Chain A
Amino acid sequence: MTDQDISYEAARGELAAVVEKLEAGGTTLEESLALWERGEELAAICQRWLDGARARLDAARRERAAEPG
């Protein structure tokens, strides 16, 4: 599964796991950096999902507002 296909829930779940692992510590700097980069990536994916959903919602609202009657 590429990141384009990952669902919001899967991304959020993985993000939480990454955060926990980072918080637990005990990783090398290289591992920590890789984890952090993955975390940022996952957070961005989640945000894209939420932004996309909100945009669709707003578009539907504007359409409804433009409806006659």
Chain B
Amino acid sequence: MRVSEPEKDKSTPERPWPVRVVSQKIGAWVGKLGWVWIDGQLAQISRRPGTQVVFLTLRDPSADLSLTVTAHRDVLDAGAPNLAEGARVVLHAKPEFYPARGTLSLRADEIRQVGLGELLARIERLKRLLAAEGLFDPRLKRRPPFLPHRIGLVTGRASAAERDVLTNARRRWPAVEFRVVNVAVQGPAAVPQMIDALAVLDKDPDVDVIILARGGGSVEDLLPFSDEALCRAVSACRTPIISAIGHETDTPLVDFVADLRASTPTDAAKRVVPDLAEEWQRIGQARARLNRAMTGLLDREQHRLDLLRSRPVLARPELMVDGRLADLTALRDRAGRCLAHRLSAGTDELGHTLARLRALSPAATLQRGYAIVQRPDGTVVREPAQVAPGDALRLRLAGGEVPATVTAS
């Protein structure tokens, strides 16, 4: 098609370009890119009956971008006969502008399905690259909080993974709070949606840990979790992230960049909140030990005190007095005995003296009829010259005294 307008002319409001001119120019620009090899994921494939052209929607696996591709049925049959939606492909194509509808599409002349082996090899290469960059460094891992405020959960809508995380976490800690963001967890939309969800939850100040969960699936189903853009997004999050993808044996790359890897969504629930009953039990046990320790200490001390108090010096203080009292009694006894001894000795002596006294007594002589003549002052009269007539005398007889008077000498 020839255009009459001079190419170098600028468009102006006075001299605007007709659609055909613009369309032709766009076609020329688009054509300049030429043939390229493209890596992408098949989002849609439509084989229309009655036509030899197949329409494909090719998506970037990490971003929300897509391109339309057209290919001849033969091209498809030759390179990728079993092509299904979601497959990773490498194709040789040239962009073309369709002036009739003003649309752009790629025309492919060769399509190769990227096999699982090649995909896994790519993941292995990416793993080495990320490891070399230090994204798996254990020092980057942040510890999720012991008891989170609010837990962010990124998972499929109404999925078993969502139910497993919510049910198990609530069973362990009934007051647990979640902010759930549902995303596609497989297929071409998965990675961009998950990256958006992570960004939203990472910005929420109440969310202090994020769980990225998905139930088990085929290796292909889990491919989005080894996506480079997703891994980098997880690594860039400031909130600790727990990955809980598939089963125990699945280890997508996101497991390596996450702060904590849970083997399953149920395991993530166990790791994200403590078990209330278990915590109560632990506190109970600690309290019981505390009680036993305290009671034991008091019992031991009481025993020690009892021992001290039961020592005779304290328990029987009367001994202190008793001992001295015994000494005192003994002394008194000794004194008593000493005195008694002296007394009896004295009594004996008295008896003897009395006997001697009695032996010397004149009473027996008087009994025989003798009398003792005494002057009133008691002087014994032995000589007649001792008296004169008229003197009073006393005559002492055995039976008593008789008064007398001297009549003559």
**Interface residue from B294, B295, B298, B304 paired with A12 (Cβ < 8 Å):** B304
- Chain A residues within 8 Å of chain B by Cβ, number: 22
- Mask, A29-43, CB within 8 Å of B = 1, is 100110010011001
**Interface residue from B287, B294, B314, B320 paired with A40 (Cβ < 8 Å):** B314
Q: Which A residues are in CB contact (< 8 Å) with B287?
A: 64
Within A3-28, the residues touching B (CB, 8 Å) are: 8, 12, 15-16, 19, 22-23
Pick out which of these stretches binds chain A: B176-184, B238-246, B305-313, B359-367.
Answer: B305-313
Q: Is the CB of B305 within 8 A of A19?
A: no
- Mask, B285-322, CB within 8 Å of A = 1, is 00100010011001001101100110101100100110
Q: Is the CB of B314 within 8 A of A39?
A: yes
Q: Is the CB of B301 within 8 A of A15?
A: no
> What's the dominant secondary structure at chain B's contact region?
helix
**Given A8-B301, A22-B314, A54-B298, do A32 and B320 touch, yes or no (CB 8 Å)?**
yes
Size class of the B contact interface (CB-based, 8 Å): 10 to 19
Whether B25 sits at the interface, judged by CB under 8 Å, is: no
**Interface residue from A29, A43, A47 paired with B314 (Cβ < 8 Å):** A43
What number of residue pairs across chains A and B have CB atoms under 8 A from each other?
50
Q: Give CA–CA (A11, B304) in the complex, Å.
A: 12
**Given A50-B298, A53-B298, A57-B291, do A12 and B305 touch, yes or no (CB 8 Å)?**
yes
**Given A29-B324, A50-B298, do A43 and B305 touch, yes or no (CB 8 Å)?**
yes
Instruction: Closest B residue to A37 by CB, please name it.
Output: B317
Q: Give CA–CA (A19, B304) in the complex, Å.
A: 13
Q: Is the CB of B314 within 8 A of A16?
A: no
Q: Give CA–CA (A53, B301) in the complex, Å.
A: 11
Instruction: Closest B residue to A43 by CB, please name it.
Output: B309
Q: Which A residues are in CB contact (< 8 Å) with B309?
A: 43
**Given A8-B301, A46-B305, A54-B298, do A19 and B291 touch, yes or no (CB 8 Å)?**
no
Q: Which B residues are in CB contact (< 8 Å) with A32?
A: 320
CB of A9 to closest CB in B, whole Å: 9
**Given A19-B308, A39-B314, do A50 and B320 touch, yes or no (CB 8 Å)?**
no
Q: Give CA–CA (A31, B317) in the complex, Å.
A: 13
**Given A16-B308, A36-B320, A43-B308, do A57 and B294 touch, yes or no (CB 8 Å)?**
yes
Q: Give CA–CA (A58, B311) in the complex, Å.
A: 30
CB of A1 to closest CB in B, whole Å: 20
- Mask, B365-387, CB within 8 Å of A = 1, is 00000000000000000000000
Q: Give CA–CA (A20, B324) in the complex, Å.
A: 20
Q: Give CA–CA (A36, B309) in the complex, Å.
A: 11
Q: Is the CB of A36 within 8 A of B305?
A: no
Q: List 14 A-B contacts (CB under 8 A).
A: A8-B301, A19-B313, A29-B321, A36-B313, A36-B314, A36-B317, A40-B314, A43-B308, A43-B314, A47-B305, A53-B298, A54-B298, A57-B294, A57-B295
Q: Which residues of B contact A (CB under 8 A)?
A: 287, 291, 294-295, 298, 301-302, 304-305, 308-309, 311, 313-314, 317, 320-321, 324
Q: Which residues of A contact B (CB under 8 A)?
A: 8, 12, 15-16, 19, 22-23, 29, 32-33, 36, 39-40, 43, 46-47, 50, 53-54, 57, 61, 64
Given contacts A12-B305, A43-B314, 12 further A-B contacts (CB under 8 A): A12-B304, A19-B308, A19-B311, A19-B313, A19-B314, A29-B324, A36-B314, A46-B305, A50-B301, A50-B302, A57-B295, A57-B298
- The list of the 8 closest CB pairs from A to B, nearest first, reads A22-B313, A46-B305, A36-B317, A32-B320, A43-B309, A39-B314, A19-B311, A23-B313
